[in-house]
Amino acid sequence: VETGNTEHTWQCIPWAHEDFQQADTENLSRWKWRRTSSKSFKKALSEVKGLSSYLVLWRHDIHSIEGKFGTGIQSYFSFLRFLVLLNFIIFILMFSVVILPTIMYKYGIFNSTSAYISPKNIEDVCTIYEPSGNKGLVYFFTYLKDLLSGTGFLEVTSLFYGYYSIDATWLSVKYNLPLAYLLATFIYLALSFIWIIKRSVEGFKQNLVHDADPFQSYSNKVFAGWDFCITDPSAARLKHRSLQYEIQTDLQEEKLKQKIAERTMEEKLRIYSLRIFINIIVIAILSGCFYSIYRVTAFSQENSSVSIRNDTRTELVNLLVQYLPSMVITLANFIGPLIFSFLIGFEDYTPAFEIKLTLLRCVFVRLANIGVLLFSLWSQISSCGSDKCKPCGYNYKLYPCWESDVGQEMYKLMIFDFIIIIAVALFVDFPRKLLVTHCSCKLVQWFGYREFVISDNVLEIIYGQTICWIGTFFSPFLPAIATIKYFIIFYVKKIVLIHTCKPAARPVRASSSNFFFLVVLLIGLLLAFVPLGVSIAHIPSSKACGPFRNFNTSWEVIPVTVLGFPTPLPQIVFGMASEAFAVPFFVILCIIMFCVIALAQAHKRVIEQLREQLVLMSRDKIFLSRKIAEPEELDFIKFPEQQDNSRSICSS
């Protein structure tokens, strides 16, 4: 039997040692040389790959998790590793561009000088900003409180925006700090965007190939499903279970599709009205969450003023009030998904769509909560009752340095998120495991061991990453905190997984998970653009602190810099930003998009035609092989139409 065009022909299997001496020695030696040289090249390549894989962070841990718990959970940990690296790179960027020059000036290293341009055309009252770092004798508790809420001694450090109040430094060349700050922000957003898109393209291609060939899904699972590398009995059990679950899900979906196709008119009406009703409930719940977050933030901002620093109890209450928004958000993030997964049972969708819709709703809850928090902060900052804002454009009495305040809120959210993750691991997961192991009460046994639910964990870390993206503009050290936080979370989650979780009853595949994680992360990033855009371009920057004191808004740095370029450039740049250029550009983009879509549809049609041709070709092969095998049947015309077809294909 032919095996195609390979060098390793059938004569060797089964072996004929005696034939070896009779073979053509010359041909054989040339063939041997070709093979050994290609083999040694391949070996060298695999050695290099092997060495470089040692540099990959946590390679061994993730590999062992994959073996024991499956590829779905392994993709969660790979995703976590990706976020650690991303945050580290963002921190390196902010450090080298923004933090380092400022620190070099403030400590007088390398004889750097700086310029402080006093703001023109701004009333003096806007520039008063006296953050109280801790002076004199204070309780240790005050330091702890300041560490947790970013006030007091932390407010004046380089952690927050307010520290970077210099306009330019000179090292040997003038270094424009405001421009550098703004550009660093844009660069880290663009870098995150490009990196996520690049990673998701691979997953997208795989998904497309997988979905494009739905007629081979069963054969693929049955014949190519088993992983021959498995040498661990628990991994084998997991693989058996995941194959079983996949096949059962596919069969279920088929049955459901048939059921849906057979629905009568009144059943359809009933189901659609039920779905609309449930969606209204979902929207009501979401509005409830948003409104409560809005009120709580307003309350927290109004009541967290600096109190008498001697009373520990009021200090504690003060701390709690400061953390109130974070607590409410965490509560909403916890309750929302529970309610959604309960409600979706009534809506009668296919299982795959159910999972997707619930996840979409949970994602929306988590990310919108951050948006509502920021929105309520801004309404506080710009609340201009009775002329409070007229001189400066924002509420200068309560928020002389409003960017630092926003930075503090983001910092608190991040710290609280971290505390919650560790607290849940310590005080919920381990006690639960101890309880289930040692108590044989029926209720406890029904509760059972915890299952590692990938989607909840992923949404948790995406929520944290969105906070980091928004907060880095207001607090340049936040990426470093995020890196350390995710680093520790990796080990915490790994320990929780190995010691307290049972293997999943429904193992999930990696390829669909990877793409989904990256899509949701992208949604988080795009959502992070909105608050940043509003802060940079719309709200006037604070005149009392920060690098943008001399500008109306933070964005103004760029037009001012562009105007400073030599003569032809400003006109070109402003021309590109005007409507005369933007509208034709947009029209051309639309035309290109239509062309690409038309091309894709043409390709699809060609693929369909080729598939049909394949089927016909194989039938012709059978017919021809029968002709060759039984020449007497030449007179027997079994397939008259196909005979004509075969003649035309053979002769062409």
Partner 1 sequence: MGNKQTIFTQEQLDAYQDCTFFTRKEILRLFYRYRDLAPQLVPLDYSDKPAVTLPYELIGSMPELKDNPFRQRIAEVFSEHGDGNMTLDDFLDMFSVLSEMAPRDLKAYYAFKIYDFNNDDYICKSDLEKTVNKLTRNELTPEEVSLVCEKVIYEADVDNDGKLSLADFQHMIIRAPDFLRPHSCWAQLHAEDLYSLIVTPTDI
The nearer residue to partner 1, 28 or 283, going by C-beta atoms, is 28
Residue 138 makes CB contacts below 8 A (sequence gap 6+) with 309
638 burial level (CB within 10 Å; 0-12, 13-18, 19+): exposed
The nearer residue to partner 1, 40 or 552, going by C-beta atoms, is 40
The nearer residue to partner 1, 220 or 312, going by C-beta atoms, is 220
Task: Pick the binder of partner 1 from 67, 82, 129, 210 (CB under 8 A).
Answer: 210
Joined tokens for residue 538 = 């719309």
Query: Least distance from C-beta 636 to partner 1, angstroms?
Result: 18
Task: Pick the binder of partner 1 from 308, 615, 628, 650 (CB under 8 A).
Answer: 615
621 binds partner 1 (CB under 8 A): yes
20 binds partner 1 (CB under 8 A): yes
Joined tokens for residue 336 = 């929302």
Piece in contact with partner 1 (CB under 8 A), picked from 85-93, 615-623, 635-643, 644-652 = 615-623
Task: Pick the binder of partner 1 from 223, 261, 313, 629 (CB under 8 A).
Answer: 223
Task: Pick the binder of partner 1 from 134, 158, 206, 561 (CB under 8 A).
Answer: 206
Q: State how far the alpha carbon of 441 is from the alpha carbons of 233, 432, 444, 448, 600, in Å.
A: 31, 13, 5, 11, 61
Nearest C-alpha neighbor of 405 from the set 323, 301, 479: 301
The nearer residue to partner 1, 64 or 127, going by C-beta atoms, is 64
Distance CA(485)–CA(522), nearest Å, equals 21
Task: Pick the binder of partner 1 from 53, 132, 157, 244 (CB under 8 A).
Answer: 244
Distance CA(204)–CA(212), nearest Å, equals 12
Task: Pick the binder of partner 1 from 107, 228, 446, 636 (CB under 8 A).
Answer: 228
Joined tokens for residue 551 = 């500008």
Do the Cβ atoms of 372 and 294 come closer than 8 Å?
yes
Distance CA(411)–CA(417), nearest Å, equals 10
Distance CA(111)–CA(126), nearest Å, equals 32
The nearer residue to partner 1, 42 or 502, going by C-beta atoms, is 42
Task: Pick the binder of partner 1 from 96, 132, 216, 609 (CB under 8 A).
Answer: 216
645 binds partner 1 (CB under 8 A): no
37 binds partner 1 (CB under 8 A): no
With CB under 8 A as the rule, give the number of residues binding partner 1.
53
Tell me which H or E stretch contains 175: strand 174-175
611 binds partner 1 (CB under 8 A): no
Task: Pick the binder of partner 1 from 4, 108, 568, 631 (CB under 8 A).
Answer: 4
Task: Pick the binder of partner 1 from 32, 263, 499, 638 (CB under 8 A).
Answer: 32
Find where tokens 């017919």 sit.
Answer: 623
Query: Least distance from C-beta 51 to partner 1, angstroms?
Result: 14
Kindly provide the b/e burial profile for residues 203-231, where b requires at least 16 CB atoms within 10 angstroms of the residue's own CB: beeebeeeeeeeeeeeeeeeeeeeeeeee
Query: Least distance from C-beta 203 to partner 1, angstroms?
Result: 13
17 binds partner 1 (CB under 8 A): yes
Joined tokens for residue 72 = 């779905």
Query: Least distance from C-beta 241 to partner 1, angstroms?
Result: 8
- Which of the residues 250 through 289 are near partner 1 (CB under 8 A)? 251
Q: What share of the chain is helix, strand, coil (3-state, %, to 5)?
A: 75, 0, 25
**What Rg do the C-alpha atoms of the chain give, in angstroms?**
33
The nearer residue to partner 1, 104 or 243, going by C-beta atoms, is 243
Would you call the peptide bond into 14 cis, given omega within 30 degrees of 0 as the criterion?
yes
Query: Least distance from C-beta 52 to partner 1, angstroms?
Result: 16
Distance CA(348)–CA(257), nearest Å, equals 12
- DSSP tally for the chain: helices H, then strands E: 22, 5
Task: Pick the binder of partner 1 from 37, 53, 157, 248 (CB under 8 A).
Answer: 248
636 binds partner 1 (CB under 8 A): no
The nearer residue to partner 1, 209 or 563, going by C-beta atoms, is 209
Do the Cβ atoms of 129 and 162 come closer than 8 Å?
yes
Joined tokens for residue 391 = 């001189």
310 binds partner 1 (CB under 8 A): no
Q: How far apart are the first and last CA of the chain?
A: 27
Residue 448 makes CB contacts below 8 A (sequence gap 6+) with 436, 502
Joined tokens for residue 176 = 């424009």
Piece in contact with partner 1 (CB under 8 A), picked from 232-240, 521-529, 534-542, 545-553 = 232-240
The nearer residue to partner 1, 96 or 216, going by C-beta atoms, is 216
14 binds partner 1 (CB under 8 A): yes
Tell me which H or E stretch contains 174: strand 174-175
209 binds partner 1 (CB under 8 A): yes
The nearer residue to partner 1, 247 or 398, going by C-beta atoms, is 247
The nearer residue to partner 1, 21 or 305, going by C-beta atoms, is 21
224 binds partner 1 (CB under 8 A): yes
Query: Least distance from C-beta 20 to partner 1, angstroms?
Result: 5
Residues at the contact surface with partner 1, assessed by CB under 8 A = 1, 3-4, 6, 8, 12-15, 17, 20-21, 28, 32, 39, 42, 206, 209-210, 213, 215-233, 235-236, 240, 243-244, 247-248, 251, 614-615, 618-619, 621-622
